[in-house]
Amino acid sequence: METVATRLALRAGAVLLVTATAAAAQTAGAVPRPVPVHGIVDGYTIVQTARRYLGVRYVLGGTTPRAFDCSGFVRYVFQRHGISVPRTAHEQSALGSRPDDGDLQPGDLLFFYGGEGAQHIAIYIGNDSIIHASSTSKRIKVDKLAGKGKERSWFGQRLIAVRRLLPAEGTFTIPAWTALTAAAPSEGDDPFSDSGLPWLF
Residue-averaged pLDDT of the chain? 80
Which range of residues forms the domain containing residue 26? 1-34+176-201
86/190 Cα distance (integer angstroms): 37
The DSSP code for 196 is: S
Distance CA(165)–CA(47), nearest Å, equals 13
User: Are both 82 and 156 inside the same structural domain?
Assistant: yes
Number of domains in the chain: 2
* Domain match, 101 and 187 both: no
Do residues 89 and 70 make contact, with C-beta atoms less than 8 angstroms apart? yes
Q: Tell whether 74 and 46 lie within a shared domain.
A: yes
pLDDT tier at 177, thresholds 50, 70, 90: low
Question: According to the model, what pLDDT value does residue 146 have?
Answer: 87
Rounded Cα–Cα distance for residues 145 and 54 (Å): 17
- Residue 30 pLDDT grade (very low, low, confident, very high; cuts 50, 70, 90): low
58 with 133, same domain: the answer is yes
Contact 20, 177 (CB under 8 A): no
Q: How far is CA 157 from CA 75, 111, 132, 144, 161, in A?
A: 24, 11, 16, 12, 12
Domain match, 17 and 114 both: no
pTM, rounded to two decimals: 0.74
Q: Are residues 16 and 49 in the same domain?
A: no
62 and 155 belong to one structural domain: yes
Give yes or no: residues 191 and 129 share one domain.
Answer: no
